[in-house]
């Protein structure tokens, strides 16, 4: 999906989607399908970056939209509130529940140890071909090294490009905490990914 | 502007989120600062790098959402059997989770049953039941009716509370009628002067919802769901539920927190446990009514643990968690869930 397309609808004020929401509230599943089509990609991408497993992210994306459908009746429409912010809040809760439930069960098993070991300050600079194939998994591995809060705000800010105000609304964190976490997460990601970042200039 | 002021704002500057005066100040600073310009370049490179990593959702995802929504709609609309069960389980569960209301509820149930709850539901109330509206003309008295049997027992003797009661509620009326009756009971329970049990007491009540005639009761009068599809859906749901419960209990088992740290975590665990408990009651009833002994027994064993986690009390977390863990170990519940 093109970034400009994404930004067009992701930032749509909730009132612009009011007609669809109202129809969905009355049980019009096709209207809800339209909402799903608008937001499925960013929500899935967000959840995937949070939990690190494609299949699980698919399940959790479905759970997010089922919960959203369930909650539509009670949704309060505030001026300036974005539907995407509301959906990201639900997605955050769904992902967080899943991560917490699994965290002490199996540790951070979503990523291979090898992929983490490959992420080091002295790793050789990969060529572009390798980048194409492994970029996603490498980023995923690096993200999984962050603690949950940092991964959450980093994903929302840097990957999903949400504003600080939206992130505060989604996470219920204070702005200073968000900024501190993003600063630290960014530094850590930069340290882990710098060979790939440098190589990306040549792509 | 100094570099210390500029650097934290670069990210917002690049995204165009700063107001114009501040943005202009930053631009002026950047024009004369090599260090900050270098950081700006680095940030932009990163933005581009991560922007390439968009992972699209699989189009087939909608199908799954649609199915789940349809299931919920069926469960929630009209008088569908699963819907009525879910609603009842939720209502009873809500009572249970407050010690005061749970005690009041138990007392009210005993009183109500002793004075003839059956007649109350069939005949009493402010809105007479229009049987014709909910029962086809050719339906005889042999038609299956949902029977709700609610034995309430303590889960563990060590908690020192034992409430035993039971009875059959013939709810061969619309779900709306049932709702009105239970609303009335809730109102009555609220008015009763019932002394609450001590806070340390954990009442592990088990509520059992079963069908009087399981083979017939699978077929709701209104629901168009077939028995086979219903059973298949429930089995899948049960497997998913057991998996979630296992994860919760495993997580619970491995907690290593201080009381303060635990307080932060506990709300989440309690909430999840409540959610699983409501589901457990529903699924257990279904498993038992369908004669799925293995699932019924396992869910019955699981229920007290969910209930106790849902009822963990502030200030007693360490003590209660230790007790629950000990029981988990003794009963091997996690192994049983894993093997299911």
The structure tokens 């009355």 sit at A26
Looking at residue A79, its pLDDT comes to 60
The per-residue pLDDT of chain A, averaged, comes to 76
Confidence of residue B117 (pLDDT cuts 50, 70, 90): low
Confidence of residue A168 (pLDDT cuts 50, 70, 90): very high
Select the more confidently predicted residue: A44 or B169.
A44
Long-range pairs for B186-190: beta carbons < 8 A, 24 or more residues apart: B186/B91, B186/B95, B188/B108, B189/B95, B189/B101, B189/B104, B189/B105, B189/B107, B189/B108, B190/B101, B190/B104
Confidence of residue B15 (pLDDT cuts 50, 70, 90): confident
Structure tokens at B312: 């963990």
User: Among candidates B200, B197, B266, B226, which has minimal Cα distance to B74?
Assistant: B226
Least confident segment among B4-13, B104-113, B137-146, B196-205: B196-205
> Is the alpha carbon torsion for A144, A145, A148, A150 positive or negative?
negative
pLDDT at residue A130 is higher than 60: no
pLDDT digits (tens, 9 = 90+) for B67-111: 888 877 777 653 334 444 444 444 444 444 445 555 565 666 666
User: Among candidates A201, A196, A198, A191, which has minimal Cα distance to A121?
Assistant: A191
- Its pTM stands at 0.48
| Calpha distance B98→B100 (Å, rounded) | 5
The number of helices, as runs of H, and strands, as runs of E, in chain A is: 10, 0
Residues of A numbered 46-75 whose beta carbons fall under 8 angstroms of chain B's beta carbons: which are they? Answer: 48-49, 54, 58, 61-62, 65-66, 69-70
Least confident segment among A166-170, A188-192, B74-78: B74-78
Looking at residue A54, its pLDDT comes to 83
Distance from CA of B14 to the nearest CA of A (A): 11
Looking at residue A103, its pLDDT comes to 63
Minimum-distance CB partner of A48 among B15, B55, B268: B55
Least confident segment among A32-36, B52-56, B114-118: B114-118
Which region holds residue B291: left if phi is over 0, alpha if psi is between -120 and 50, else beta?
Answer: left
Contacts of B47 in chain A (CB under 8 A): 158, 161
| Calpha distance A192→A190 (Å, rounded) | 5
Looking at residue B148, its pLDDT comes to 36
pLDDT at residue A165 is higher than 60: yes
Nearby residues of B92 by Cβ (< 8 Å), 6 or more positions away: B105, B150, B207, B281
Distance from CA of B64 to the nearest CA of A (A): 7
Least confident segment among B149-158, B220-229, B232-241, B296-305: B149-158
Looking at residue A4, its pLDDT comes to 39
Which region holds residue B160: left if phi is over 0, alpha if psi is between -120 and 50, else beta?
Answer: left
Select the more confidently predicted residue: B124 or A171.
A171
Q: Which whole number is the average pLDDT over A101-105?
A: 65
C-alpha dist (Å) from residue B283 to B80, B188, B255: 15, 29, 28
pLDDT at residue B291 is higher than 60: yes
DSSP track, A88-149: HHHHHHHHHHHHHHHHHHH-STTS-HHHHHT-STTPPPPPHHHHHHHHHHHHHHHHHTS-HH
Q: Which whole number is the average pLDDT over B53-62?
A: 77
User: Among candidates B270, B320, B278, which has minimal Cα distance to B299?
Assistant: B278
| Calpha distance A36→A40 (Å, rounded) | 5
Residue of A nearest to B73 (CA): A27
Looking at residue A64, its pLDDT comes to 93
Structure tokens at B82: 């699963």
Looking at residue A154, its pLDDT comes to 94
Least confident segment among A33-47, A89-103, B64-78, B127-141: B127-141
Select the more confidently predicted residue: B331 or B258.
B331
pLDDT digits (tens, 9 = 90+) for A26-74: 878 888 888 888 889 999 999 998 888 888 899 999 999 999 988 887 7
Q: Which whole number is the average pLDDT over B245-262?
A: 73
Residues of A numbered 144-203 whose beta carbons fall under 8 angstroms of chain B's beta carbons: which are they? Answer: 157-159, 161, 163-164, 179, 182-183, 186, 189-190, 193, 196-197, 200-201
Longest dimension (CA), chain A: 58
Q: Do B8 and A200 touch (CB under 8 A)?
A: no
| Calpha distance A137→A118 (Å, rounded) | 12
pLDDT at residue A198 is higher than 90: no
A69 touches B69 (CB < 8 A): yes
DSSP-based helix, strand, coil % in chain A, nearest 5: 75, 0, 20
pLDDT at residue A98 is higher than 70: yes
What is the value of ipTM here, to two decimals? Answer: 0.73
Percentage above 70 pLDDT, chain A: 70
A58 touches A91 (CB < 8 A): no
């Amino acid at each position: 999906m093109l970034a400009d397309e994404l930004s067009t609808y992701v930032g749509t004020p909730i009132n612009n989607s009011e007609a669809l929401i109202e129809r969905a509230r009355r049980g019009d599943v096709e209207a809800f399908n339209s909402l799903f089509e608008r937001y499925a990609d960013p929500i899935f991408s967000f959840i995937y970056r949070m939990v690190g497993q494609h299949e699980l992210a698919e399940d959790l994306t479905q759970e997010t939209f089922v919960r959203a459908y369930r909650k539509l009746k009670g949704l309060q429409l505030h001026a300036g509130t974005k539907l995407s912010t509301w959906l990201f809040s639900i997605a955050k809760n769904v992902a967080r529940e899943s991560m917490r439930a699994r965290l002490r069960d199996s540790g951070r098993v979503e990523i291979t140890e090898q992929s983490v070991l490959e992420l080091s300050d002295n790793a050789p600079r990969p060529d572009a071909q390798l980048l194409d194939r492994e970029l996603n998994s490498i980023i995923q591995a690096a993200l999984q090294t962050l603690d949950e809060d940092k991964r959450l705000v980093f994903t929302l800010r840097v990957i999903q490009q949400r504003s600080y105000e939206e992130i505060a609304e989604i996470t219920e964190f204070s702005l200073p905490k968000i900024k501190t976490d993003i600063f630290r997460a960014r530094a850590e990601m930069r340290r882990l990914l710098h060979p790939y970042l440098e190589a990306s200039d040549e792509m | 502007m100094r570099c210390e002021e500029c650097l934290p704002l670069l990210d917002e500057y690049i995204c165009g989120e700063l107001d114009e005066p501040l943005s202009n100040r930053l631009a002026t600073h950047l024009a004369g600062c090599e260090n900050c310009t270098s950081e700006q370049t680095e940030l932009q490179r990163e933005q581009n790098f991560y922007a390439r990593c968009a992972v699209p959702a699989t189009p087939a995802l909608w199908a799954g959402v649609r199915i789940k929504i349809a299931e919920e709609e069926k469960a929630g609309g009209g008088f569908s059997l699963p819907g009525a069960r879910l609603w009842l389980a939720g209502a009873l569960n809500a009572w249970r989770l407050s010690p005061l209301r749970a005690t009041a509820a138990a007392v009210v149930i005993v009183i109500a049953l002793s004075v003839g709850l059956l007649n109350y539901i069939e005949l009493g109330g402010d809105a007479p039941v229009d049987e014709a509206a909910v029962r086809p003309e050719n339906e005889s008295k042999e038609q299956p009716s949902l029977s709700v049997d609610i034995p309430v027992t303590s889960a563990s003797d060590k908690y020192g509370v034992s409430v035993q009661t039971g009875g059959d509620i013939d709810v061969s009326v619309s779900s709306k009628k049932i709702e009105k009756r239970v609303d009335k009971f809730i109102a009555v329970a609220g008015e009763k002067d019932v002394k609450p049990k001590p806070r340390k007491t954990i009442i592990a009540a088990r509520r059992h919802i079963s069908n009087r005639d399981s083979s017939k009761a699978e077929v709701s009068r209104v629901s168009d769901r077939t028995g086979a599809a219903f059973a298949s859906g429930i089995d899948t749901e049960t497997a998913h539920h057991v998996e979630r419960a296992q994860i919760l209990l495993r997580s619970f088992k491995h907690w290593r927190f201080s009381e303060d740290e635990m307080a932060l975590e506990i709300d989440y665990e309690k909430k999840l446990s409540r959610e699983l408990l409501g589901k457990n009651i529903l699924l257990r009833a279904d498993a038992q009514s369908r004669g799925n002994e293995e699932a019924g027994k396992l869910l019955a064993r699981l229920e007290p643990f969910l209930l106790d986690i849902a009822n963990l009390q502030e200030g007693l977390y360490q003590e209660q968690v230790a007790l629950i863990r000990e029981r988990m170990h003794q009963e091997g519940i996690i192994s049983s869930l894993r093997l299911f």
